[in-house]
A and B are shown apart, each in its own frame.
Chain A
Amino acid sequence: MTSDLDTAEEAPSERRRRRIFRVRLWIGTGLYVLASVALYQWGHGNSPWRLIWAVLPLLFMVWVVTVTVLRVRQMDEYQVKLFFPGLAVGFTVTIFASVTVGTLSAAGFTVPNAGWPVAIVGIVAWEFTNLLTRAPRA
């Protein structure tokens, strides 16, 4: 049974937290893309700056991870309950994909840029589980 009081409107503080998270996430992601472009442009060859260009995108990934952890810490108990199955499935699938790539490599089958497929498989598994559990939108 619904009433006029059952609107789909979010609580203001929740909306504010979500907006802040999205701004921080997009800033981190944007800087990661810029750093990756710089790595592609100047990170090759024997330049002494090569290591700096290679590490720079990782700093912004640390930023994205930090922002995500902060967001999870803001979640209430029910949101956390919905959030963790996705994380658990994503983690398990990522480990399985890593072991699969390792086993293939041991057998002589090289998988080019193997880190990216492993990451993508893990993220897709995470997001798919979030859809099933109706985990809160970030």
Chain B
Amino acid sequence: MDNLIRTEREARGWTQAVLAEHLAVSRQTVVALETGKYDPSLPLAFRISRLFGKPVESLFLPANNH
């Protein structure tokens, strides 16, 4: 699954550590999310959606190779 987490974070001028703090996760997890190595659980996806003020379906997209 692709996502726009990095784009949204950089648009706000946040470091990965700042985003991690906002989401109450580790920076390692933010890196894994941004690089597409890890797909978040629904609760975490909704936390991300709420934080960025955008619907889940506009932040998370089906991967191109599927």
**Which residue from chain B places its CB closest to the CB of A82 in the assembled complex?**
B28
Given A5-B10, A12-B21, A13-B24, also A78-B15 (CB < 8 A)? no
Size of the chain A interface, CB-CB below 8 angstroms: 17
0/1 string, B3-44, CB within 8 A of A gives 1: 000000110011111101100111111001100001011001
CA distance A3 to B24 in the complex (A): 22
Verify B15–A79 contact, CB threshold 8 A: no
Query: Within 8 Å CB of A12, what residues of B?
Result: 17, 21
Given A12-B21, A78-B38, A79-B26, also A7-B32 (CB < 8 A)? no
**Which residue from chain B places its CB closest to the CB of A75 in the assembled complex?**
B26
**Which residue from chain B places its CB closest to the CB of A81 in the assembled complex?**
B38
Minimum distance in angstroms from A130 CB to a CB of chain B: 13
Given A5-B9, A5-B13, A76-B29, also A14-B38 (CB < 8 A)? no
Query: Within 8 Å CB of B15, what residues of A?
Result: 5-7, 9
CA distance A77 to B13 in the complex (A): 25
Verify A136–B28 contact, CB threshold 8 A: yes
Provide a sorted-by-A list of 17 A–B residue pairs whose CB atoms are within 8 angstroms. Answer: A5-B10, A5-B14, A7-B15, A7-B16, A9-B15, A9-B17, A11-B18, A11-B21, A11-B25, A12-B21, A13-B21, A76-B25, A76-B29, A77-B40, A77-B44, A78-B26, A136-B28
B residues at A contact (CB < 8 Å)? 9-10, 13-18, 20-21, 24-29, 32-33, 38, 40-41, 44
A residues at B contact (CB < 8 Å)? 3, 5-7, 9-14, 75-79, 81, 136
